Amino acid sequence: MRSDDLRLPGDIALLRTGYALTAVIAATFGAIVWTLFDRSDNVVTSTVIALFGDPSRPWDLPGMHLLLVMPMGACVVVFVRSVLGWKTFGLFTPMLLALAYLQSGPIAGPVISTTAILIGMMAVPLLKSLNLSRVGFLGTLIAIVVSALGAMALEFRQPALVSAFPVVVTALIVERWWNAFEADGPKKAVRMTATTLAVALMIQGLVAAPPVVWLASERPLALPLASIVLMIVLGRYQGLRLSELSRFRAANHGA
């Protein structure tokens, strides 16, 4: 009998907790999207504002900051890949995604990009059935995501929200998601999407942290130079990845 055939009471409880958590996250997510686009005063919007503050507030970072922290984001990606061993879409997709967040705001960024990705995911099966070339597919996907976001922004008179949103990154993520879905199945694809978003959130939190912002304004070159050193060190790391500790459990017990 294989271990994944077992359905113990503890497993079932865990599964139910997981479902409940997913439902709560989905509901919160929906409420935030609603508040972002519909600014009228009602129960949902006032609750969201009370809980999270105004979700459409921007980061308000100096223009140079975005450029200076890019190496730091890359550094996090290198760390996540070769030390933690988490699988993300593409090489530096999480970093690009985090930059997109920085342009739109701490809450608006993740929420709008996830919405755009969800819209794209729904459009993919339709586009795949049209047998387009890869470029044609990506172009159409970009147009669809833009149309959906633009329609929401215009309908609720919030054009500033999506004006500078990097749609190309979103389209690339949707395409990679679909490739992973076809090659490795839904479970792995969902996991990789979640990891990509989580790493992007981590990078956002790190590069917008007050000490980092202060350092970037006081010693502009300190961050990129430190990142270079750190990435050279990380790039030479040849030990086991964190994820491999559990992957090679069987090999380790015997050795």
Partner 1 sequence: MTILGMNRRNALIARLNPREAIKGVNQKFETKERLAASGVPVPPTLALIASETEAATFDYARLPDAFAIKPNRGRRGEGVILVDGRVEGGWRKLNGEVLTERMLRAHVTRILAGELSLEGGNSDAALIEPLIRTHPDFARLVPFGLPDIRIICLGDVPLMAMTRLPTVESGGRANLHQGAVGAAIDFRDGAIFRAVLGQDEVFDHPSTNAALIGAVLPFWRETVDAARRCSGALGLGYVGVDLVIDATRGVQVLECNAYPGLEIQNVNAAGLGARIELVQRQQRAKARKTRGTRQAPDSLAGLRPFGSAGTVLRDVGREMAGRVAGALAIPAPLAA
The least distance separating partner 1 from the CB of residue 238, rounded to whole angstroms, comes to 4
Q: Are 164 and 153 in contact (CB under 8 A)?
A: no
The least distance separating partner 1 from the CB of residue 84, rounded to whole angstroms, comes to 12
Q: Are 204 and 196 in contact (CB under 8 A)?
A: no
Asked whether position 157 contacts partner 1 by CB under 8 A, the answer is: no
Asked whether position 3 contacts partner 1 by CB under 8 A, the answer is: yes
Query: How many angstroms from the chain centroid is the CA of residue 205?
Result: 12
In the complex with partner 1, the residue whose CB is nearer, 214 or 248, is: 248
Q: What is the dihedral of CA 155, 157, 158, 162, to 10 degrees?
A: 50
Burial 25-40 (b: 16+ CB within 10 A, else e): eeeeeebbbbbbbbee
In the complex with partner 1, the residue whose CB is nearer, 212 or 234, is: 234
Asked whether position 244 contacts partner 1 by CB under 8 A, the answer is: yes
Asked whether position 2 contacts partner 1 by CB under 8 A, the answer is: yes
The least distance separating partner 1 from the CB of residue 46, rounded to whole angstroms, comes to 49
In the complex with partner 1, the residue whose CB is nearer, 1 or 43, is: 1
Asked whether position 255 contacts partner 1 by CB under 8 A, the answer is: yes
In the complex with partner 1, the residue whose CB is nearer, 19 or 237, is: 237
Q: How far apart are the first and last CA of the chain?
A: 25
Asked whether position 129 contacts partner 1 by CB under 8 A, the answer is: no
Which helix (H) or strand (E) segment is 45 a member of?
Answer: helix 43-52
Amino acid at 135: V
Fill in the per-residue mask, 35 to 74: x = in contact with partner 1 (CB under 8 A), - = not in contact: ----------------------------------------
The least distance separating partner 1 from the CB of residue 182, rounded to whole angstroms, comes to 12
- What are the Cα distances from residue 157, in Å, to 38, 86, 100, 149? 8, 39, 21, 12
Distance between CA atoms of residues 210 and 14, nearest Å? 37
The least distance separating partner 1 from the CB of residue 175, rounded to whole angstroms, comes to 14
Asked whether position 187 contacts partner 1 by CB under 8 A, the answer is: no
Asked whether position 252 contacts partner 1 by CB under 8 A, the answer is: yes
Distance between CA atoms of residues 179 and 197, nearest Å? 17
Distance between CA atoms of residues 171 and 187, nearest Å? 21
Amino acid at 129: S
Residues 223-242, interacting with partner 1 (CB under 8 A):
237-241
The least distance separating partner 1 from the CB of residue 141, rounded to whole angstroms, comes to 19
The least distance separating partner 1 from the CB of residue 72, rounded to whole angstroms, comes to 22
**Binding footprint of partner 1 on the chain (CB under 8 A):** 2-4, 82, 85, 237-241, 244, 247-255
